[in-house]
Structures are given as C-alpha cells and as structure tokens.
Structure 1
Amino acid sequence: MAGGAVKSGSAGAAAVAPGHVLVVPSGNGVQWQRVDGAGRPVGPVTWAADPVAEVRRLELQARPRWIWWRTTEMYPALLEAGVRVERCHDLAAVENLLRTYEGEPFVPPQSAVREPVTPGRATQISLFEENAFGEGSGATPEGGTPVGPGGSDSVGPGSVGSGSVGSGSVGSGSVGSGPELPAGGEIDPRMLAVPDEVAAWVEELDNAGLTVPRTATGHVPEADPAGPTDPRRSDPTTSHPNSTDHGDQARHNDPTGHHAPADHLTLSDHLAPSDHLAPGGRPDRFSHPAPTGFPDHLDEGEPVVGPTPRGEQPHGLAGLLRLYATQVEQIADIRVAHPGFPLLVAAESAVCLAAVEMGRAGLPWSVRIHDEVLTELLGPRPAHHGRPRKLQTLAEEVAQELAPGSSGPGFQINQVNPDSPAEVLKALRRQGITVDTTRAWELKGIDHPAVPPLLRYKELARLHVAHGWAWQDQWVSGGRFRAEYVPGGVVTGRWATSGGGALQIPKVMRACVVADPGWVLVAADAGQLEPRILAALSGDRGMIAATADPDMYTALARQALGKPEARNEAKIGLLAAMYGARANSLAMVALRRRFPQALELLERAARTGEDGGIVRSVLGRTCPPPEPTWQDGPPEQALARSRARGRFTRNFVIQASAADWANALVAGLRRRLSGLPDDQGRAELVFFQHDEVIVHAPAHLAAEAVAAIVDSGSEATSLVLGDRGVRIPLAAAPIASYAEKN
C-alpha cells in the first residue's frame, strides 16, 4: 500500500518528525499515521496497544497536530492519564464550519459524554429556560441575546441568545436531550502569534501544492477610503463571494464595472447571497477530487471507503484521511475570499481542547458557602425533596391571595399551584384580571396582592431548580463544579454547555466560586465587546475613536448627544440598533447621524436577511439559510418571518465576530498558560463565557496569569480585527472569590 504496511508501535519506536498525526481508536488500541498538510500519507499505519503511552511518546517527541474525529472522544482519557496535547484538528468541529459556510442548516455539535441520570438523581433545567414557571431567558441585550429568526421578539426557546440550543433554537445555554433542551502580502509570522495554529496552515497549504493568493490571514488591510456606503462598493446580494482576482488584494465587482478594493472590516466581505448555492441549496460536499497519494488500502481487506454522509463519523483511518484531505482543500478554496478562515478553523479546534481541559479542571466551588446561600434564601434543605420552608410559605401566600381559603393549617393540596402558569392564569381571570403569560415583566404591570409573593416565589424557585441542592449533588464533586462545555454549540459560534448551567451562574451564586488556599482567581472580561466589534467591522472613524474610552457608551453619548451624562440613552439606542428593536428614539436618530457607517452596516445586514441572504462573521463563520418554505403562507406571516430573519442577521454579524475574537482569546490564553511554571501547580483556565475568563493559579503566578490574559486579548484583537485602532480593554485582576469581581 502507498502508506506502508501496518506496524506495531511501542515506547521504543523511532522518533516522529513534527507534522500531522491522524489517529483513530482501533479495537483496544489506536491506529495512527503521519500525513502532510494536504492529507497525504507520509508514513506507515501504526497500531498501538496503549493509546495513552503512544500519544505521550509522540507528543513529547514531535508535538504534532493531532487529527481526530472529535476532541471529546479522544482527549478526556488522555487528560485523565496526565497527557496534554498542544494542538489538534477537530474534524467534526471543522465540518460544522464548512457545512454552514456552504449553506447547510446549523446542527449543534454533539456533547462529549452523556451521563445517564441515575435513580434518585434529580434532572435539571436551565436557569433561563422556558419552564413550568412561565419564564424565558431573562437575558438582556447587553448580555448578547439577539432576537431569534422565528418571528418573535421574545427570548427563550426558539430564539438566539442565552437560552437553550435545540430544535429551531439558537442560544448559549445547553445542548442535549431531556430537561435541558438546547440554540495582500506575505504572511508576517509575528502577526500570527498563534504560530502553530495559523501560520502553519498557510505554509502547509502552499507546500501541498494548494497555492492561493497570498492575502493576510486575519490581518485587515486599510479601509477603502470610499467607505462601505459608497455606491462603487459591490452589492453583497449580487456579487459572488469568490469573485476575486489574484492580485495582492481580493476585489469585488459591482454592476457598474467599478472594482473597489475589498475592505475585510465592512459588510461587503461578510455577506453572501443565497443563490451562490448549488441547485437545491446544498453544494456537493465531495465535488473536488481528493489529492493524489491516497493508499489503495490501509490494510489487507480494508478498502478505502467512499464519501461519508455529512456530519457522520467516517469509517476508520481511511475515512478520516479522506475527510481531512477534503477539508484542507475546501479551506484553501475559502481562503481566497475569506483570508481569515484558516484562523477560524485553528481557533475552533484549539478551543475544543480548552473546553475539555476546563471540564477536567473544574471551577472551584465551596459546598459550604453554597449551603449557606441556599439556606439563607430558601430555608433549610428539605428532607424529602419537597419545597424548602421559605418557598412553601410563599406558595401558601400566593394561593391564599388568588384563592382565599385554599391554604392554612392542615391544608395539604393548594388549589393554586404557583409552579403552574395555567393555574395562575385561571385564578387571575376568576378575579377579573386577564394576562397572556405569567412572565415577570407582564405580572409587574398588575396591581394585585398576589403579584409580589408570586414574583419572589418564581425567582427563588428558579434558583432552587437550577442551582439548588439537587444541582449540587449532581454537578459538584471534590470542591469543583465540572460542567461539559460545547464550543460552537450556538450558531453564532458562542459556547454552550450540556447540563449544569455553567454559562448561567447567577450573581447570588458567585460567592461559591472561591480560590483554593494559596491560590487566586484571575478574572477578566472585555468591556462592551460587541459595540467595539461593530466599530471595527464598519470602519466608522467616529465610533473607532470612541473605543479609546474605557467606557465606550460615555464616549458615544459625548459624540452623538453632546452630553456624557446621557450614557444610558446612548447605550439603549445602540443596543436597540444592534438587536433590531422597533424603536426610533432621539438617541437612535443621533447615533445614526453621528455614526452613519456603523448603523448602515447593521441595516445592510438586516436587509440581506430579510431577502433570504446569508451573512458571515469577520473570519467567515456563516449563518444558516432560511428554510426553503420560509416565505410560504399568507403575506402577513411571510413579512413577519422576513423581518424576524432580518433581526437575526443584523446581530449575527456582530455576535459571531465577537465569538471569533473570544475563541482567539481562549486559544492564545491556553497556549500562554501552558508555558508557565507548574512545579507548584498548574495555572488553568477554569471558566469562559462569551467575553469573560477566569484563571485559577498559584498565588505566586498571579502577575504572570494577569499578563497572559491581557496579552492574549491584545493578540486576539490584532489577529481577528487587524490594526484599525479599535481598543478592546481586558482588565484582569487577582481575586479570592468570584463575588469580588465588579
């Protein structure tokens, strides 16, 4: 065979040169093979009986890029045995990026390990999930919750944001089944400060003979002086995303015949029309022939398999080899139009490693403090999984106000159950009060004595269900909260979790997150990330100047409204513009007048979505197309769906680009932390949410951990957004408890 005969590996085997190693479980061991950057075999297939020992040996010798189907299937066992790898190519994660880029529907990635619920172990629902209490996510726009494509302005199942991820939903909550239903010039290696994750890609593609125009990966050229609203700029709904010449800069054509230089920070490079797809909207994933050099077989009797259906794990080493080669070729093609796509691929694989490491390390969690918080808020822990005392008292008060005489000494079954929206609504109607839901915002408009205790009950009941004692029993062990993180679990690229609600820790529970004795938590978050991303993408000079202020909203108020004290008005106006709120306040008018390029970018994204088009992040992450039947039905319903999709695409460009930045941050931080001394304990990333990170580090490494976070933030800005003058502050500080974080 072309790759050589199958050999047996051992600890004394010959050294492996740096490069790529394809690895797949095989029986009780693993098969692995060295391949080049194009996916061509460059060594024999080797079988090893001890996967951990073999990976440890190869990692120590060569630190290769490991190519495997899914990180969560290979890496947990390695970490358990003390083996960390530096880099990988997660075929499943990259396949998701490529599928959505080509116009296929978004499918949330599978979670790592689905632990069966044991008898007596309570299952949990997400804190912000639509549930028996009639509440939605409760997330605010600043938290990054855009309006979903389903036609509703509400946030919850079926929407984009901090809810859950599942059928028809987009969010940053949970992925799973059961109660947590989920939503140029030459490359300068110094600019690619994740060298093994990005610069190597470019070199590998070229060495493999897949040469493409040399545009700067992730580094953005100067903006077109004409600006994104200039009529010479291409119309993204008619130009082909791959319509580019092979000069130093990609150029887009417009119907007038002008050739405007592509500005990679404006919307014209992020949008692609839906008619770029093959007939039926589904391009042929395997339309390109595989590179030559494939073995005819890997072993006697094991022929190379044909293409695997999209999203399914290929069969054996041969199937993975073919898939990797196809992916490399696709990435090279995409890189022509979107030079940052290799960075997106590398960062996506890197954060898959980081997510498994975070789950293994766990977030430090004090059971003692957790018990104290719950007891203070709810009363003592009930003996038989019933309502805690304070919850029961509130439930009886609600029942008494809604149905007098339904509660009291000796009364066993309340006629009004506050956990049941249907019963609450029925009781309110009996008293002449008509409301559509039991959501808090609607109840607050009712003048009735049952409302205050009902709102308090709902708040505490959510806490009891989502982070109560049953949650503690299930998710906290050994002083650590160990969640299962799912990078890319949201269509915008944000992370999700599979159970545990790690991305939804309420503020009242932050006191439970405490550093070990002799250790510190180093916490940081990017201030006002999405408005700063908007400034970078639009190239709006006025808004870029506002990013120099630590509080960008104050700067916007000063520039647009003439008074910095109008900060809240400017904030609400900008968030309304980014999330498509139906408002036209004086602040929004002033912002539109002062920052026309930024606001026009949002409007163009919305118009593209309304027309059924797709939009992309700065690195090329792509929103899914609408369903083929999305405009079927009465005109008023079609119009509502069109507007809803416009709100979705309006925010997708911003939120997905922010996720690009955040993943680059995590990838860089992971690399820097691995280089710190670990003789007294390893500094580890233990928490990540959208734009916030927490590192648990020995106290003597606090300053180094702070520097690692700050440097990683600067690197992410440079890699993803380029040198445009946009500042994304990332203030990091050592603390003893998460509650100390501002």
Structure 2
Amino acid sequence: MTPFVIVAPAGAGRVRLLRTGDDGLPFTGPDGSGLFGAAAAVTVEGSDLARTVAVLEQAHPRWVWDDTSRWYPSLLAAGVRVERCVDLRLSHAILRHSTLTQDSELAMSLPGVFTSVAQVGVPAPASAASIHTPAPHSTLFDDLDDLDELAPSSSAGFGATDPRHSDRIPRVNGTGGTGDTDGPELDAVTDETPELAGRDHSTEDPEPDTLEIAEFRRQRDAIRTATDPSRIALLVAAESAGSLVAAEMQHAGLPWSAALHDDLLTRLLGPRPPAPGIRPARLEELLASIRTLLDDPTVNPDSPAELVKSLRRAGLNVSSTRSWELKNVDHPAIPPLLEYKKLARLLTANGWNWVDTWVREGRFHPNYIPGGVVTGRWASEGGGALQLPKQVRSAVVADPGWKLVVADAAQLEPRILAALAGDRAMAAAGRDRDLYDGIVASGAVDTRAHAKVGMLGAMYGGTTGESGRMLPRLARAYPAAIKFVEDAARVGEAGAVVTTRLGRTSPRPSDAWQDVQDEAGADNATEAARSRARSAARSWGRFTRNFVVQGTAAEWALCWISAIRRRLWLLDASTLAPTARGGAAPTAPTTPTAPATDLRLEQRPHLAFFLHDEVMVHTPAHLAEAVAEELRDAAREAGRLIFGDAPVQFPVTVAIVDSYDQAK
C-alpha cells in the first residue's frame, strides 16, 4: 500500500512529513529503511521541501496538506509536480455539510480552523438527489482503492429514482489512472539518495498530533462511516484533484499577448489616455453625442443613479440603466449610450490597467478558487478569469510552434439532468446529436430556441414567458426529468436541503427565511405575511431545483479536468524537447535533449484555462490532435465515473486554434 504523507509546518521554517495509512495512523516500512528510517515522521528544512517531495513523489504518495494553494505553488515554481493530494480545507467543507456524513464526528464538531465563516452549521437531514448505481471501472482516483471496508453494491441499472433516497455507487477499482502502479514504494527511497542525505529522522512516533493529522483522521473516519462512502470519497478526491489543477493553471498561466490586447483596446477605445481617470477618445465622443441627443450637458453615464435622472428629465420612463431595459426604449440617444456602456465595461474589466496588473511575461496568471461557489463551481479572485469577454479573446494566443486546444461540453446541464433523473427519452434525444435538436426531432417543441429556453426554465425555475409556455410540453415528453427538478424544488420550498450525485449538500435557508415562514404560520398571520412566505419559499425552491443539476455538473467537470490532467501528463513526452517558453516545438518525434521526466509542466501539454464546462490546453502543435482525442476520452471517462453505464452521452466539441477567438 502506498501511504499518505501529511505535510505540516514544524516551526522555524521547517516542515514535518508524516507517513500514515488511510486511517491516519503512523505508517512505517516493514524493514525500517528509507527516508523515514525506523519511524513514520521526518522534519526537513523548508528550503529542502521541494527536493524531498520530488524524490518521494516517485512512489506516488497521496500528499495531505491543509490547503493546496499554500503548499503547491512553491513546489511548482521549483519544477515539482505532484500526482495526488488531499486538500483538507476543501474536503472539510464537503464532509461537514454533506447529508452522507451528517452523523460523523467531523460534522457534529464545533467550527475550527478548517471551517470558514461560510461553512459554519451542519445541514439537517433531507433529500439526496441521485440516480442509478454505476458499474465499477478503472478510475483516476485511486484514493478509493484503499477504502477496503466499502462493499460495492451489486445492483445496477438506469431508471428514475426518488430524490429523497441515495443509491450507492460501488467502490471504484482498477489500476488505470494515476500512475499508482508497480513503481517503488516510499521504502525504496534510502538514506543514500544524494538529495536526501542528512535529513532529521525521528526515532519516535510524532507527538503531539498536529492539527493536520487530527483533521485527516476525522475526515477518513467520516468517509468510512458515511451513508454511501463511495460517493463522498469520489467527491473529495475530485475536489482535491481540482485544487491541483487550479494551482497548475495559475502557475503556467494563460498565453496572452499584451501587444495584441493594446491594439484591440486602441482600435475600440482610441489611444491609451496619458493618465488614469481620463476617458479614452471614443468614450468622449460617445459621451458628447449622448449629451447632445438628450439635450443635457450634465449626463454622467458612469453613474447609474445620475443617468436614470438624466433619462427621466428627457422624458424617458426608465427604472434602471440595465441594457435589456434600455434596448426597449425608442430614442436616438440609446444606441450610443449602449455602446458607451459596453466599451466602459471593457475598459474597467479588461483595459490597460488590467493588462498591467495581471499579464506578465506573456501570461495571464489568475487566482482560481476551487469550490468558490456553493454548488461546487469555481470562482476567481481578481482578474476576472471566469468572465473573459469575447472582445479580448483574440489576445489569447498560442506560443510559436504551439496550439490552443479548446473543448466545451455540449448541453452539459440538461444531459446531467437526464442522467440524474434516469430519463430514457431525454437521453435518447441527445444520442449522437445536439440535445436541443433531438428534443425538436422528438416533437416536444417546434424550434431549437424553444427547446433551450424551456429546458433552462425547467432547471432554473422559469415559469413565465416562453420558458413557462414550453414547460408543459417538456413535462409530457420527459416526465422523469421534469419531475426530478420539481421534486428538488418542493424540498427547498419546505426548507430542507438537497444533495448532488456525489454528495455535496445545499445550505439550509437562513434564519431570516425561517422567521418569514414562522410568521406566516402563526394563527394571526396576515395575507401579506403569507404572501411573503410563499415568495421566499418559491425563491429557495428555485435554488434547490438548480443546485442538484449545477452541482452535479460541477462534479462531472471536476472529474473531466482531473482526467485531462492525468492524460496530458502521460502523453508520449519522448516527442517533446524542453524548449524555453515561446520556443518552437518539434514538428516530428525527435530525441529529447533531456529525459522526459525532466520536462516541466509548462513544457508539456497542459491545462491553461477552465470555465465550468470549457477547457483550454496549451500544447506543442504536433501533439494537438492527440490532445484533442484525450479531451474527448476524458469526457467519456467522467461520465462513466459518475453515472456508470447510463445511456447518456457527454460529448465535447473540440477546436484546435492559434487564438481563443477562433474557437467559436
């Protein structure tokens, strides 16, 4: 068994490494040899950590640390990539809230250092949205192989399930995936290894337990005693793998041409102003036009409140400056005003100051936040990585001799819904074709636009307009799918929680929400109070309706990018030469100037961007076709991993381009 290695600060700039089994108990080699000597722990200088990790990584351990974003960036900077980890912070958030682990010591404990303010509170027992039991198969998450206590379910099949119950996912077995093969174990690393000579070997079990050790034990116990250990184990493994992807993408960066970006801004806005606070020429021209057409020299389109006043003074009855509302106003000042707003957003979000702040040495290095959204989706901190407008995508350009391989999952969320609900008719509609086109072909609705708006309305709770009009038709054609989201909505309206396919659980409504419901239930409640309660309940129902779908889609995406990460690393690196950034890659297999294992992450095909259901890989041009096929295979792998043999396809469209704007 390959052990886990817990990483913890030891004071004075030193780092403590502790080998454990999957139960968090100290683990030593049978002959007492190796880096750890006769004990389970070793302390190294912080300056030696990267070299130590590089040697130990040969045995494919699972690194356990409090926060990937704390430890991994310095390893990457030193050229060290790790295969697997357990991110205690991210895993804690999942295990503390999940209905699958609600009876664990971790879930019932008081908030601690691994519990952020937003994570305080233990969800009440409630519905868990799920589906059929998938069949076992090979997986990239070999962490699950060590959960020997988990007996896989023998049942399988594809059919609608009651969202108030949780079907089991059998423990995933197999060797394919993470490189956890017959390679050397930690015990094969000896004191004679030059890079590790002179380390401080402990001769006694480490004491006292560090916070990391205690937390790891609680987490493993929570998984082992979970209602469905396989589901939650897969989720925390995927979340931790995602944290590695996030750190690697931040390290490698997204290829970005500051020169092309400047040209784009100059073409749209005019030359760069000489000082901050001065409007570019094009915005000044538009402002002059707006003021003339409104006959108001005081118009300030940068202030929504002031702009509303100016528009009303001109006789335009508007309640806001939102673009959708302004587009319905017939006045000659509206077109230049809309253009001003669009260009002003570009200047604010991705203007010259943005380039100066976020782009260095030809790379955009955003700060990704895995699990930053309550459904499990990622967020970003600064730089707007998850909101790159189409206007600036032409500045995302591959290095000479390299390509961008861009893939996005087609109609991901409705396909996830079909799998969750076990809706065979909906699964068939998306078989080997665009799902919305398939819905039209089935006769449920008459146009692709109607299929899309109706399905989005079903998943997001749209009950008015076109989406509301399409919903009854979709309910007749796909009763299982529509019932699934309707049931999830009813759970939310009752103030309970729902759970995704793998076990991420929605938060409970706030105390204020509950107060509104209690007020409406009182004997002397007014009709106004009851109306407020119904409105609040419907609103929370819309949230839970979408939570199970969006949250499970986020789980699929995590499995997808994790599979991509592994597959890219295992590509035939013998065809790569370790060129400097910006250098040309060979167009045909060559003899590398250094062993393949010496190639850094950024010198190989690597993930450069991720946005919910879309990925971008930066790769030497001669490997672009191979990368494209890996992206497709990874999508199929993610579907099998979560839904087994369910007849729901998760196709991805792939484009090999020189710049991001060419992808769509």
TM-score after normalising by structure 2: 0.79
- Secondary structure of the residue that 1:687 maps to in structure 2? strand
Matched with 1:354 is 245
Among 701, 714, 728, the residue aligned to 2:623: 701
Q: Which amino acid aligns with 2:270?
A: G
Deviations 1:248-278 (A, max 9, x none): x76xxxxxxxxxxx999xxxxxxxxxxxxxx
The RMSD of aligned alpha carbons is: 2.8
Q: Which has the higher helix share?
A: 2
Matched with 2:524 is none
Matched with 2:282 is 390
Shift in CA distance, 695/47, structure 1 to aligned 2, threshold 3 Å: same
Whether the 8 Å CA contact 1:683–1:696 is kept in 2: the answer is yes
* Matches of 1:637 and 1:185, distance apart in 2: 40
Matched with 2:315 is 432
- Secondary structure of the residue that 1:537 maps to in structure 2? helix
Whether the 8 Å CA contact 2:405–2:617 is kept in 1: the answer is yes
Matched with 1:285 is none
* Matches of 1:185 and 1:500, distance apart in 2: 41
Whether the 8 Å CA contact 1:215–1:339 is kept in 2: the answer is no
Whether the 8 Å CA contact 1:187–1:214 is kept in 2: the answer is no
Q: Which amino acid aligns with 1:85?
A: V
Among 424, 429, 435, the residue aligned to 1:546: 429
* Matches of 1:263 and 1:652, distance apart in 2: 24
- Secondary structure of the residue that 2:511 maps to in structure 1? coil
Q: Which amino acid aligns with 2:625?
A: A
The CA deviation at 1:517 is 0.5
Does 1:22 find its partner at 2:6?
yes
Whether the 8 Å CA contact 2:422–2:481 is kept in 1: the answer is yes
Deviations 1:340-383 (A, max 9, x none): 22111111001101100000111111112111111111111101
Matched with 2:67 is 70
Aligned positions of 1:149-228 closer than 5 A? 188=136, 191-194=137-140, 197=141, 199-203=142-146, 205-206=147-148, 211-215=149-153, 221-224=156-159, 227-228=160-161
Matched with 2:182 is none
Among 35, 43, 49, the residue aligned to 1:47: 43
Shift in CA distance, 454/90, structure 1 to aligned 2, threshold 3 Å: same
Whether the 8 Å CA contact 1:223–1:263 is kept in 2: the answer is no
The CA deviation at 1:455 is 1.0
TM-score after normalising by structure 1: 0.71
- Secondary structure of the residue that 1:631 maps to in structure 2? helix
Whether the 8 Å CA contact 2:235–2:502 is kept in 1: the answer is yes
The CA deviation at 1:608 is 0.6
Among 531, 537, 541, the residue aligned to 1:636: 531
Matched with 1:484 is 367
The CA deviation at 1:627 is 1.4
* Matches of 2:553 and 2:24, distance apart in 1: 31
The CA deviation at 1:585 is 4.6
Deviations 1:121-171 (A, max 9, x none): xxxxxxxxxxxxxxxxxxxxxxxxxxxxxxxxxxxxxxxxxxxx9999xxx
Among 651, 656, 662, the residue aligned to 1:729: 651
Whether the 8 Å CA contact 2:427–2:648 is kept in 1: the answer is yes
Among 391, 397, 407, the residue aligned to 1:524: 407
- Secondary structure of the residue that 1:339 maps to in structure 2? helix
Matched with 2:16 is 31
* Matches of 2:67 and 2:286, distance apart in 1: 47
The CA deviation at 1:319 is 1.5
Whether the 8 Å CA contact 1:186–1:214 is kept in 2: the answer is no
Aligned positions of 1:272-311 closer than 5 A? 298-299=206-207, 303-304=208-209
Q: Which amino acid aligns with 1:376?
A: R
* Matches of 2:492 and 2:133, distance apart in 1: 33
Whether the 8 Å CA contact 1:618–1:657 is kept in 2: the answer is yes
* Matches of 1:187 and 1:579, distance apart in 2: 30
Matched with 1:468 is 351
Number of equivalenced pairs: 555
The CA deviation at 1:586 is 4.4
Deviations 1:616-659 (A, max 9, x none): 11111111111133132432222211111110111111111110
Whether the 8 Å CA contact 2:150–2:230 is kept in 1: the answer is no
Aligned positions of 1:564-713 closer than 5 A? 566-583=447-464, 585-633=468-516, 634-676=529-571, 677=573, 678-680=576-578, 681-713=603-635
Deviations 1:396-416 (A, max 9, x none): 222333343x2xxxxxxxx22
* Matches of 2:511 and 2:392, distance apart in 1: 44
Shift in CA distance, 560/589, structure 1 to aligned 2, threshold 3 Å: farther
- More moved, 429-438 vs 615-624: 429-438
Deviations 1:95-138 (A, max 9, x none): 01112215789x9x99xxxxxxxxxxxxxxxxxxxxxxxxxxxx
- Secondary structure of the residue that 1:561 maps to in structure 2? coil
* Matches of 1:319 and 1:628, distance apart in 2: 32
* Matches of 2:474 and 2:621, distance apart in 1: 45
Whether the 8 Å CA contact 1:484–1:498 is kept in 2: the answer is yes
Matched with 1:417 is 300
- Secondary structure of the residue that 2:9 maps to in structure 1? strand
- Secondary structure of the residue that 2:438 maps to in structure 1? helix
Matched with 1:279 is none
* Matches of 2:604 and 2:511, distance apart in 1: 51
* Matches of 1:661 and 1:654, distance apart in 2: 11
Whether the 8 Å CA contact 1:221–1:263 is kept in 2: the answer is no
- Secondary structure of the residue that 2:481 maps to in structure 1? helix
* Matches of 1:187 and 1:605, distance apart in 2: 26
Shift in CA distance, 649/525, structure 1 to aligned 2, threshold 3 Å: same
Q: Which amino acid aligns with 1:589?
A: P
Matched with 2:54 is 56
Does 1:445 find its partner at 2:328?
yes
Whether the 8 Å CA contact 1:632–1:638 is kept in 2: the answer is no
* Matches of 1:570 and 1:730, distance apart in 2: 20
Among 487, 492, 505, the residue aligned to 2:388: 505
Matched with 1:84 is 81
- Secondary structure of the residue that 1:355 maps to in structure 2? helix
* Matches of 2:626 and 2:620, distance apart in 1: 10
Whether the 8 Å CA contact 1:560–1:591 is kept in 2: the answer is no
Whether the 8 Å CA contact 2:134–2:157 is kept in 1: the answer is no
Unaligned runs of 5+ in 2: 28-38, 121-131, 172-202, 517-528, 579-602
* Matches of 2:628 and 2:78, distance apart in 1: 29
Shift in CA distance, 186/387, structure 1 to aligned 2, threshold 3 Å: closer
* Matches of 1:202 and 1:672, distance apart in 2: 20
